[in-house]
Amino acid sequence: MKPIITLLTDFGTVDGYVGEMKGVLLAGAPDATLVDITHDIPPQDVERARLTLARVWRRFPPATIHVVVVDPGVGSSRAAIAVESDGRWLVGPDNGVLSAALLLPTARAVVLPVPSKASATFHGRDVFAPAAAALARGEPLDALGESAASPVVRRTPEPVRQTDGSLDGEVIYVDRFGNAVTNLFGFRAGVVRTGLRRIPVRHTYADVATGEAVAVVGSTGFVELAVRDGNAAEALQIVRGSRVTLEPAVS
């Protein structure tokens, strides 16, 4: 089976940075299949990249190599790492973006050396792509660097249960449709309160009329706030970090 290498960055597709990385990857691993997860992560948004990676990385077959470059600390003292977890490899900056893989108990990580000739502003091309190509050629993780003692791990905040049974949570990201994804997990009944608005939890967007707000359990399992055929973030004036409260259905 040909190696699969995925790319997840905040580079966009205008400036050619993605193309440069692909050139290095294919020069080092000519048989690799390259898959673009997204290059539209908001600039420097490590948290959004972390959540995107968490959603997709185990959807790919074992032995897939994921390269993640959302790296506001590029060129600084932050480490570059490669990770082996659940039969897959991940390469990127040690800023928490690879947390989904690092949270598994069997995960292993190594620190990648940064060549003296590497650009201080483009480790995606000069550090991460060569490491990913080496993994695609079959080089073992331990050959790429020394063990990483304590890689940075970020976690999604847990909602807080109140004495009345309600859960206080927050919006963890807003998607391109304006849907506000919260850290409330798996609830399929009740009401979500944000500010002065109380929004019912329903099964689908179509369970309310056009223009009305609704809470649904999205494909990630988290409750998200939406406006049917509209933009919830704009209509409800909510952003990442906005507080929400789930009031369970009364039986």
- What is the reported pLDDT for 196? 86
Q: Which structure tokens are listed for 238?
A: 């909510």
Q: How confident is the model at residue 250 (pLDDT cuts 50, 70, 90)?
A: low
CB neighbours of residue 42 within 10 Å: 11
pLDDT of residue 88: 98
Q: What is the pLDDT of residues 145-168, one digit of tens each?
A: 999 999 999 999 999 999 988 999
Domain boundaries, the chain: 4-147, 160-247
Strands (E), 146-205: 146-147, 160-161, 167-174, 180-185, 191-194, 197-200
Could you please state the CATH topology (level 3) that the domain comprising 4-147 is classified under.
Rossmann fold (3.40.50)
Find, among 72, 21, 65, 11, the residue nearest to 41 by Cα: 11
Whole-number mean pLDDT of the chain?
Answer: 95
Neighbours of 57 (CB within 10 A): 21
Top pLDDT among 47 and 187 is at: 47
Kindly state the average pLDDT of the residues 212-221: 94
Beta strands 167-174; 180-185: pairing state: antiparallel
165 token code pair: 């049974």
Q: How many whole angstroms separate alpha carbon 157 and alpha carbon 31?
A: 40
Reported as a pLDDT band with limits 50, 70 and 90, residue 187 is confident
Average pLDDT score over residue span 108-137? 97
pLDDT value at residue 1: 81
For the ranges 155-164, 179-188, 202-211, 220-229, the lowest mean pLDDT is seen at 179-188
| pLDDT band at residue 240 under the 50/70/90 scheme | very high
- The whole-model pTM stands at 0.93
pLDDT value at residue 188: 74
C-alpha 120/C-alpha 12 separation (Å) is 20
Distance CA(164)–CA(230), nearest Å, equals: 32
Positions of E strands within 70-131: 80-85, 88-93, 108-111
Which amino acid, residue 89? W
Percentage of residues in the chain having pLDDT higher than 70: 99
**CA–CA separation, 156 and 50 (whole Å):** 10
Tell me: pLDDT of 115 over 90: yes
Cα dihedral 194, 196, 202, 205 sign: negative
Residue 189 pLDDT level (bands cut at 50, 70, 90): confident
- pLDDT higher than threshold 70 for residue 69: yes
Q: Is the pLDDT of residue 251 over 60?
A: no
Q: Tell me which fold the domain 160-247 belongs to.
A: Elongation Factor Tu (Ef-tu); domain 3 (2.40.30)
User: pLDDT tier at 79 (50, 70, 90 boundaries)?
Assistant: very high
Share of residues in the chain with pLDDT > 90 (%):
93
